[in-house]
Structure 1
């Protein structure tokens, strides 16, 4: 998975301390620790700026955020909700943070773009175009 955007550098990431702590605990599980998706997510967490939940800007993708994004290569619009692995449901658009697109979207801000290879090798370039719902912006700091 590559999270580079068009400048070739990874986009900056902001993560709430609550999300960081819950994800770090999830990744500490022996069953997940060695999975490539878990390693990729840990790499994202390690480079993120961690802020108290009440200081996370409302235009940032956090856990349980519902976002609008567009695939800049195909023009397809997507509406996704970033969730923990046990909440994932493709039919509802609930994307696990352990899915490549999920770990790539976590911490991005509106307007930022990520590139990555989808299963099967198809190249995707998603740009976050809006956040319909973000728990922190709604005062839900302890979800």
Structure 2
């Protein structure tokens, strides 16, 4: 069973518009994100707790209970600038992270069919906590 996710209505609106423009080559990624968004609880941006992963959050996470952590910023595809610390929402890891809170673990399927577990370890920056709603 997947953990509950919380998404701001502003992120949901932006993601809906982004999904309308997803190319045919990324239909599987689009469908995975649509499925995830379908189980989201919506909230006002200012009501999102600081421990929830939102779009443009800088997140620390680990895979399969590993000690090593990865830190990346969850990004819209249009904002990908080739930085190694950016993670598109249309990747399996990006889709899995959205809406989770610190301490949550989710099992997710990779494109090759193998499963991985992802655990949110911390949030270094969240736009909503910083009062940045229109980004």
Fold in common (TM above 0.5): yes
Correspondence list, 1:16-35, <5 A: 16-29=8-21, 31=23, 35=27
Instruction: Tell me the number of residue pairs that the alignment of Structure 1 and Structure 2 aligns.
Output: 135
Which residue does the alignment assign to 2:35? Answer: 43
Structure 1 residues 27 and 139, CA, compared in 2 at 3 Å: closer, same or farther? same
Gaps of 5+ in 1: 1-8
Structure 2 unmatched runs, 5+: none
Q: Which residue of 1 aligns with 2:129?
A: 137
Please report how far the alpha carbon of residue 34 of structure 1 lies from its aligned counterpart in structure 2 after TM superposition: 6.9
1:52 aligns with 44
Distance 1:127 1:30 in 2: 27
How far did 1:71 drift? 1.7
CA separation of 1:134/1:37 partners in 2, compared to 1, >3 Å: closer, same or farther?
same
| Structure-2-length-normalised TM-score | 0.89
What's the RMSD between the two structures over aligned residues?
2.1
CA displacement at 1:142 relative to structure 2? 1.5
Task: Name the structure 2 match of 1:101.
Answer: 93
Q: Which residue of 2 aligns with 1:82?
A: 74
